[in-house]
Amino acid sequence: MNESEIRKVLRKLMGKDVVDWRLREDGFLIAINHQGWKVTFSPAEVERALQSCTRKRVTANE
């Protein structure tokens, strides 16, 4: 997954409130919001959000 895809996933999961993030080797996505809260997303959550973003892009192009 490239950086632009990760940013789309983060926007889908947390909105524009992300200050920093890290994608771990095991697929977990760690995000920190403006309030300093660390939120961890499982690989399954990340995959669902990525598929949702991809579906929107495909249907918008049709």
Tens digit of pLDDT for each residue in 5-48?
Answer: 999 999 999 999 899 999 999 999 999 999 999 999 999 999 99
Report residue 26: phi and psi, to 5°: -85, 5
State the CATH class of domain 3-61.
mainly beta
List own/partner pairs for 48-55 with CB under 8 A and 24 or more apart.
49/9, 49/12, 49/13, 50/1, 50/5, 50/8, 50/9, 52/12, 53/5, 53/8, 53/9, 53/12
Res 14: pLDDT: 94
Report whether pLDDT(57) > 70.
no
